[in-house]
């Protein structure tokens, strides 16, 4: 894989493991499968990084018969997501979710690019009705008074976030008063 081609990922059943100790009955000690060796060599030479996974520990399972007629369950993490550094920089919160499947020997995998299962919230918007309440100015001034960081852009972003949080909180506490004031102002004009 060419590392100069921009953001790239490889996702799916890679038929190999990174560590024999992370498998159960998949490969015996000292008997590494050819696929695992090929996967390890490819990752080592390409610079791809394994995206962290949450959920089930294993993504593949198979019932097999061992010598003596005993039954054993083979389990391994064969399904995974590998990404190059450009992709990881672009999607730094990404994580792989290992989910249950009842119809296949492979479990489902889901690539979540927001990570941490963040809720998708509606974007913050300044409400014109807040202009009716003179306390709104003080909410903004209080949020901007806080000095967070000496790096100006980081400081600006943190103050912007603090203002969004404070105005949203203030709005929840004063919602009806602002709407009443807005209606009263419209009626008096």
160-185: pLDDT as tens digits: 888 888 888 888 887 655 555 555 55
pTM: 0.51
pLDDT on residue 176: 53
- Among 48-52, 67-71, 106-110, the range scoring the smallest mean pLDDT is 67-71
**Looking at the chain, how many residues does it have?**
189
pLDDT on residue 32: 46
Mean pLDDT of 2-29: 70
Task: Please name every residue paired with 65 in a beta bridge, in sequence order, or none if there are none.
Answer: 71
Place 21 in a pLDDT band, splitting at 50, 70 and 90: low
pLDDT on residue 157: 75
Mean pLDDT of 69-97: 83
- Does residue 80 contact residue 40 with C-beta atoms inside 8 Å? no
pLDDT on residue 101: 77
pLDDT on residue 156: 79
Mean pLDDT of 103-124: 72
Mean pLDDT of 78-82: 86
Give the tens place of pLDDT for each residue, 122-158. Answer: 678 888 888 888 888 888 998 888 766 666 767 777 8
Using CA atoms, how far residue 157 sits from 67, 87, 91, 145, 168, in Å, is: 64, 24, 20, 13, 17
Place 108 in a pLDDT band, splitting at 50, 70 and 90: confident
pLDDT on residue 113: 85
Q: 92: which 2 tokens?
A: 């730094």
Any residues with CB less than 8 A from the CB of 67 and at least 6 apart, and which?
none
> Within 13 Å, how many C-alpha atoms sit on residue 36's CB side?
17
Domain boundaries along the sequence of the chain: 9-112, 128-188
């Amino acid at each position: 894989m060419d590392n100069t081609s921009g953001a790239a990922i490889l996702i799916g059943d890679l038929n190999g493991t990174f560590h024999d100790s992370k498998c159960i009955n998949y490969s015996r000690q000292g008997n590494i499968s050819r696929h695992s060796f090929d996967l390890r060599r490819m990752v080592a030479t390409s610079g791809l990084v394994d995206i962290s996974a949450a959920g089930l520990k294993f993504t593949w399972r198979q019932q097999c018969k061992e010598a003596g007629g005993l039954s054993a369950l083979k389990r391994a993490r064969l399904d995974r997501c590998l990404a190059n550094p450009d992709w990881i920089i672009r999607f730094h919160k990404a994580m792989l979710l290992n989910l249950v499947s009842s119809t296949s020997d492979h479990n489902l995998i889901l690539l979540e690019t927001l990570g941490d299962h963040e809720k998708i919230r509606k974007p913050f918007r300044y409400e014109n009705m807040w202009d009716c309440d003179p306390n709104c100015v003080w909410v903004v001034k209080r949020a901007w008074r806080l000095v967070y960081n000496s790096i100006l852009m980081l400081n600006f972003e943190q103050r912007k976030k603090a203002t969004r949080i404070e105005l949203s909180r203030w709005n929840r506490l004063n919602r009806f008063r602002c709407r009443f004031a807005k209606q009263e102002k419209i009626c008096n004009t």
